[in-house]
Structure 1
Amino acid sequence: MQDRMQGLALATGWIARLALWIAGIGLVLMTVIIFAQVFVRYFLNDSLQWAEPSSVMIMAWFIFLGAAVGLREGYHLSFDVLLVFLPDRVAPWLHTISDFVVAAFGFGMTWYGSQLAAKAARDMVPGIGISRFYDFLPLMVGGVLIILFSAERVLRRVAGLPTARFGDLDPEDEDLAEQTGTGA
């Protein structure tokens, strides 16, 4: 099982890395668009009609992708007060329950996001002229990634492997192979 988890960790590591790159590029792109809008508005006394709706859409992408990767890396919010008072052997159970709740939330994001996207698909986004479906696509993709990364955390715990902390599951990290016992 640990060999399969090694493969899963590498695959989800690459997915997380891709999501972070997309989120980072989106953040820079949104910043450039907002700068261009401010420049055009205040120096050229004109307006870029597409700047605000495209910036909001890009912002949704980097928020939902970043949130999913933050979950995978162990940076999501948690209340560990109860863990201080309970024996250490209870912690994995509580973390697993938490991961299931987060996965259910990701399912809700995907399910209800797809329903919203279907209802809004006929409408157009003013200024950029694309379907409002694309407004809800980041919500759905983020939900799928949250489900995937939550499942990975549960499966790693079942396999007796450490769950992710930032950098632990980097696809190029040699320490991961040593942690899982699959090193060359």
Structure 2
Amino acid sequence: MARYYLSSMDILYRIAMWISGIALLLMVAVIPVGIFYRYALNQALSWPEPISILCMVTFTFIGAAVSYRAGSHIAVAMVTDRLPPLWQKVASTLADLLMLALSLFILVYSITLCRDLWEQPVADFPLLTAGASYLPLPIGSAITLLFILERLLMGPQHHRQVVAFGTSET
């Protein structure tokens, strides 16, 4: 069962990494288009700003889940690195539990936010509703929750050896 969960998390990790990378690439491509049309052609487009904001939110929340699983998130280890190994483990578990609580909080309230704003259109981009533009928040926090559970139950991903594509050995 653990092997299947790890395999699923490996696949989810790669998908989330691609989604956040594509969102960043799209944001970097869309912003200059808006700037060019506004200042070079003196014709402001309405869609680059809401699209780039959606890409930024996607990159931030889904990319944060990817960073968390990879162990490359921001961590101040000045104090914990000086602790004995047992207390380092306790501090790491406490940090994971606090991340779990924070992710649950974001998940619950972002679902409420999306639901409350689902019908509200974005004025500059009518194909997109305000609720849909906030979908990366609950999706990213749900992915983060899955990665936190993986870390709590099976240890950090960056300490496992990859056996084959999509599978990991603990």
Provide TM-score, normalisation by structure 2: 0.88
Written as runs of structure 1 = structure 2, the 5 A alignment for 1:74-113 is 74-113=71-110
Contact residue 5 and residue 155 of structure 1 kept, 8 A = no
1:132 and 2:130 are equivalent in the alignment: yes
CA drift of 1:173 comes to 8.0
Letter in 2 for 1:78: A
CA distance in 2 between partners of 1:12 and 1:33 (Å): 31
Letter in 1 for 2:18: W
Cα 1:35–1:171 shift into 2, 3 Å: farther
Contact residue 104 and residue 145 of structure 2 kept, 8 A = yes
CA distance in 1 between partners of 2:132 and 2:84 (Å): 47
Letter in 2 for 1:29: L
1:21 and 2:18 are equivalent in the alignment: yes
Deviations 1:8-67 (A, max 9, x none): 222111111111111111111111111211221222211111110111011100111110
Letter in 1 for 2:43: D
Contact residue 119 and residue 130 of structure 2 kept, 8 A = yes
Q: Which residue of 1 aligns with 2:62?
A: 65
Cα 1:170–1:142 shift into 2, 3 Å: farther
Contact residue 9 and residue 169 of structure 1 kept, 8 A = no
CA drift of 1:91 comes to 2.1
Letter in 2 for 1:172: F
Q: Which of structure 1's runs of 4+ aligned residues deviate more than 3 A? A: 166-171
Contact residue 37 and residue 44 of structure 2 kept, 8 A = yes
Contact residue 103 and residue 145 of structure 2 kept, 8 A = yes
CA drift of 1:111 comes to 0.5
Gaps of 5+ in 1: 158-162
Bigger Cα displacement from structure 2, 143-152 vs 90-99: 90-99
Number of aligned positions between the proteins: 169
Cα 1:32–1:167 shift into 2, 3 Å: farther
CA drift of 1:170 comes to 8.6
Q: CA RMSD in A?
A: 2.2
Task: For residue 77 of structure 1, give the secondary structure of its aligned residue in structure 2.
Answer: coil
CA distance in 2 between partners of 1:6 and 1:69 (Å): 19
Deviations 1:99-155 (A, max 9, x none): 111011111111011111122223111111122111221111111011110000001
Cα 1:36–1:101 shift into 2, 3 Å: same
Task: For residue 157 of structure 2, give the secondary structure of its aligned residue in structure 1.
Answer: coil
CA drift of 1:171 comes to 6.0
Task: For residue 45 of structure 1, give the secondary structure of its aligned residue in structure 2.
Answer: coil
Contact residue 7 and residue 166 of structure 2 kept, 8 A = no
Gaps of 5+ in 2: none
